[in-house]
Amino acid sequence: MPKVLISDKMDPQAAKIFRERGVEVDEITGKTPDELKAMIGQYDGLAIRSSTKVTKEILEHATNLKVVGRAGIGVDNVDIPAASAKGVVVMNTPFGNSITTAEHAIALMFALARQLPEADASTQAGKWEKNRFMGVELTSKTLGLIGAGNIGSIVADRARGLKMKVVAFDPFLTPERAVEMGVEKVTLDELLARADFITLHTPLTDQTRNILSAENLAKTKKGVRIINCARGGLIDEAALKAGLDSGHIGGAALDVFVTEPAKESPLFGTPNFVSTPHLGASTTEAQVNVAIQVAEQMADFLVSGGVTNALNMPSLSAEEAPKLKPYMALAEKLGSLVGQLSTGAIDRISVHTEGAAAELNQKPITSAVLAGFLGTQTATVNMVNAPLLARDRGVEVREIRSEREGDYHTLVRVSVRTADGERSVAGTLFGDQAPRLVELFGIKVEADLVGSMLYVVNEDAPGFIGRLGTALGEAGVNIGTFHLGRRQAGGEAVLLLSVDEPVTAELLARVKALPGVRTAMGLSF
Ligand SMILES: NC(=O)C1=CN([C@@H]2O[C@H](COP(=O)(O)OP(=O)(O)OC[C@H]3O[C@@H](n4cnc5c(N)ncnc54)[C@H](O)[C@@H]3O)[C@@H](O)[C@H]2O)C=CC1
Ligand SMILES: O=C(O)CCC(=O)C(=O)O
């Protein structure tokens, strides 16, 4: 039974779903990195929010880990390249908390417009400072939206409901989508010059870091009010403080900070500054949503191989997974076969699907071929890290589909190119389930690739099979299955035998010494 650790505070629905789906679960929150390192080795899955930092060091100790699930959107707390290199799938729940976060941005916009936190503190202090708190209306004001994705588009919708004019800067926003959202697509400079309120909804990337830098803040309208419910680091906090102090910036509300938890900041205590402790996603509804989603996604993956919302692997629905499973087994065996039989550097692998196989999601099939192929060279490869490893090794990967059936109703062909040219192997599924090799370097064969196998290339001549059988018998090796193919009578022939023991160097020497043998190799699947 797979075992999952929930290491951050999460709605109880998550643990309930894991248990219902046959996944054992421990809920242990608040552990230090060292404590997590010591315990992570026993888990197949790790469910987190933002507190747990899934670093390279933690991953090094995660000997059984297959999946990290983030109950939320941002995955800045997960070292995705390190997870990918280790073959660990990283998933998030990209929609479960979007409405809640958008509402928080709107709440902070109102808080700034009417100085609600300061008015509240003053009133509760018994001051009744009616004349001190003069607000502004939102109606007819211009809201500058930086980032018009899931959350940004909900903010735009709510702002339009408040009769605001919305201008948006997002390099990936199409003109059609801008029209659909009812926003005006503008450049960043135009947004800075026109907006009365600016709200940020982008991830933190090299392009967005300090997108509100001192220079850009200086381009804003005097009195602008700024809201950040996305990520710390999008605004230069020192420049923001200077802008608030000078009065150029009329107000700022931050839910997120460069350093979190933000227990101290030069911004604290600044007039017209409002802050919340990364509460964007903190509503009952959002937390139930993300907890359910993350548990369902992780359980799907651990129990049936379905992949949803993975950031480092192609998606594979729970319905697709059982259909693809036998293909992935076939693809992995074919990849492993070409890996074991190839000598010399391979610079290209092509995965060609024909018939029924061509109608399926190709990415998992290709990843399985690469995992099988690279598994012959390195121990720590799986479908997650195989495409990266192939790229790192300079192997070009091609996918070709032909929906028309050939000799078989479904076929996967794997071709590898080396300095000596291109060679291929092909396989099908018998009864849509059982992987079978049907072609080996241009020779028709029909073989189960299973366990220890002996591969022999010989000259097709009478008496050879008898001599080989005798040699194996004398070596005390029992033959399980025997598969034969030849290019033409009297030409090159191929033998694939499954044997009950691993093929030893001594056995290979005996076989190679037989007259007519061109090559002999041990294979294992
Ligand atoms: N405060 C909180 O508790 C929460 C914060 N978030 C954060 O909110 C942010 C936005 O989340 P979503 O809307 O779901 O993401 P999303 O991926 O749907 O949207 C992000 C948008 O940013 C745009 N973008 C990327 N680079 C840009 C650039 N250089 N300039 C302008 N726009 C750019 C993208 O094109 C995309 O449209 C994320 O950073 C996420 O982590 C999300 C949930 C809760
Ligand atoms: O889980 C949380 O409270 C933070 C949510 C968040 O920042 C996100 O989903 O990106």
- The domain spans of the chain are 3-95+285-304, 98-275, 314-431, 442-525
Which one from 57, 118, 184, 260 is the annotated catalytic residue? 260
CB of residue 50 inside a 6 A radius of ligand 2: yes
Distance CA 482, CA 466 (A): 12
CA distance to 251, 292, 408, per residue, from 72 (Å):
28, 11, 45
Q: What is the pLDDT of residues 307-334, one digit of tens each?
A: 899 988 878 887 888 899 999 999 999 9
pLDDT for residue 377 is more than 90: no
Name which CATH class applies to 442-525: alpha beta
**Which tokens in the block code for residue 190?**
């135009």
pLDDT for residue 264 is more than 80: yes
pLDDT band at 378 (very low <50, low <70, confident <90, very high): confident
CB of residue 281 inside a 6 A radius of ligand 2: yes
pTM of the model: 0.80
SS3 488: coil
DSSP 482: E
- Which ligand minimizes its atom distance to the CA of 233? 1
**Which residue minimizes the CA distance to atom 35 of ligand 1?**
172
CB of residue 207 inside a 6 A radius of ligand 1: yes
Q: Active site includes 409?
A: no
Residue of 10, 11, 50, 202 best suited for mutating to test ligand 2, as the one with most atoms within 8 Å of CB:
50
**Which tokens in the block code for residue 447?**
């073989």
Which one from 231, 413, 417, 436 is the annotated catalytic residue? 231
CA distance to 198, 233, 268, per residue, from 252 (Å):
9, 14, 11
pLDDT for 22 equals 97
Using the mean position of ligand 1's atoms as its centre, give its distance from the Cα of residue 185 in Å: 16
Tell me the mean pLDDT in the region 244-264: 97
**Which residue minimizes the CA distance to atom 10 of ligand 2?**
74
CB of residue 97 inside a 6 A radius of ligand 2: yes
Q: Active site includes 231?
A: yes
Tell me the mean pLDDT in the region 437-453: 94
pLDDT for 487 equals 83
Strands 89-91 and 67-70: parallel
The structure tokens 């029909």 sit at: 446
Which one from 201, 225, 278, 436 is the annotated catalytic residue? 278
pLDDT for residue 291 is more than 80: yes
Mean per-residue pLDDT of the chain: 95
pLDDT for 491 equals 85
pLDDT for 135 equals 97
**Residues near 191 by beta carbon (within 8 Å), at least 6 away in sequence:** 144, 145, 146, 167, 168, 169, 198
pLDDT for 321 equals 85
Using the mean position of ligand 2's atoms as its centre, give its distance from the Cα of residue 360 in Å: 34
pLDDT band at 430 (very low <50, low <70, confident <90, very high): very high
Amino acid letter for position 403: E
What is the largest distance, in Å, between two alpha-carbon atoms of the chain?
109
- Which ligand minimizes its atom distance to the CA of 204? 1
Q: What is the pLDDT of residues 11-36, one digit of tens each?
A: 999 999 999 999 999 999 999 999 99
Q: What is the pLDDT of residues 133-192, one digit of tens each?
A: 999 999 999 999 999 999 999 999 999 999 999 999 998 888 999 999 999 999 999 999
Q: Is the peptide bond before 94 cis (omega within 30 degrees of 0)?
A: no
Tell me the mean pLDDT in the region 468-480: 92
Highest mean pLDDT among 79-93, 236-250, 362-376: 236-250
The structure tokens 């509460």 sit at: 279
pLDDT for residue 380 is more than 90: no
Tell me the mean pLDDT in the region 483-506: 89
Task: Considering the domain delimited by 98-275, tell me its CATH architecture.
Answer: 3-Layer(aba) Sandwich (3.40)
**Which residue minimizes the CA distance to atom 42 of ligand 1?**
73
Q: Are 140 and 163 in contact (CB under 8 A)?
A: yes
Q: Which residues pair with 235 in a beta bridge?
A: 212
- Which ligand minimizes its atom distance to the CA of 276? 1
pLDDT for 43 equals 98
SS3 195: coil
Using the mean position of ligand 2's atoms as its centre, give its distance from the Cα of residue 262 in Å: 15
- Which ligand minimizes its atom distance to the CA of 98? 1
* Matching fold, domains 3-95+285-304 and 98-275: yes
Neighbours of 434 (CB within 10 A): 12
pLDDT band at 382 (very low <50, low <70, confident <90, very high): confident
Residue of 90, 202, 278, 293 best suited for mutating to test ligand 1, as the one with most atoms within 8 Å of CB:
202
CB of residue 101 inside a 6 A radius of ligand 1: yes
Using the mean position of ligand 1's atoms as its centre, give its distance from the Cα of residue 248 in Å: 26
Using the mean position of ligand 2's atoms as its centre, give its distance from the Cα of residue 441 in Å: 52
Q: Does domain 3-95+285-304 have CATH number 3.40.50.300?
A: no
**Which tokens in the block code for residue 502?**
């691993």
**Which tokens in the block code for residue 310?**
């993975």
Distance CA 126, CA 129 (A): 9
Q: For the domain with range 314-431, which CATH number is right: 1.10.3720.10, 3.40.50.150, 3.30.1330.30, 3.30.1330.90?
A: 3.30.1330.90
